[in-house]
Structure 1
Amino acid sequence: MKKILIALLSIAFSCTLQAKDRLEVYKDYDLGTEIMTITTVKVDPNMGDVYLAGLKNSWIKAVKLQKELGFIKDWKIYGSDLPNSGEFNMLLVVTFNSSADLEPSKKKYDAFMKKWSEADEKMSNETAAKYPEVRTLTGEYQMREIMMK
């Protein structure tokens, strides 16, 4: 009988510990409304500057235009100080004010294409075609901030 009581108390005690170890959204933490899309990239050794030069004429030009038009909040590129370790060594990050900004929009598309010339499109396509020679995309993520209370 004593063993059964000890076993039941142990189970009850472990259940209360598990319940306290779990947090609840909006009670214990909030979720931010900003959305970040993150692309992880493995740039080949000694090709970081080559890849960045390509990005300058394609991705960077496009995100600068999107920010100017108010379609995105911000953008950033992060490079690893240890470029030969891990699955990726560069991050391409775009921050949106909310998930609503990720929805397709003909109005936004038309406004972007009005400023994005055929020459820009051609240059971007030519540059992107050479990317596989210097980098591999290793992942894409959509993240939001978790704010602890």
Structure 2
Amino acid sequence: MEFTEEQQNYINKLITDEKEKWVNDELEPIKAQVKELEQYRPKIKSDQEKALEQKEIELWQKEKNLILKENGLHEFADFFVATNIKQLNRDIEKLNKILEVKKFNNSYVPDGHKGKTDSYTQAKKNNDTFGMVKALFSK
């Protein structure tokens, strides 16, 4: 099918008009939205920045281990996930309180001492001579 030059120009004009309409109505808002969202994209870090961050992490681990060692808690280093000294000190205080309570609860409590009395002592306390004699012979 052959078009005349006038028809071809008209078709080209319609295509151009529709393309411009599509660019203005569809493409431009999307481009504006992409440009707006690009500000939230994380910055690409250079190798120097990555190395610096790694050194900071290593330094914090060393500092954390030193603080825990000073407080006698270096065995618990894996359980502390603090990211700064203030938080680490709070966690150390909490753990020390827990360990104090556990230490107190696990301390030695003697059995058979003053808390318990035998039947002879009870009978003597009540001035029960028959009970005292009975307790002596039952042993």
Please state which structure has a larger fraction of its residues in helix: 2
What is the TM-score of this pair, normalised by structure 1?
Answer: 0.23
Q: Which has the higher contact order (CA 8 A, sep 6+)?
A: 1
Larger radius of gyration: 2
What is the TM-score of this pair, normalised by structure 2?
Answer: 0.25
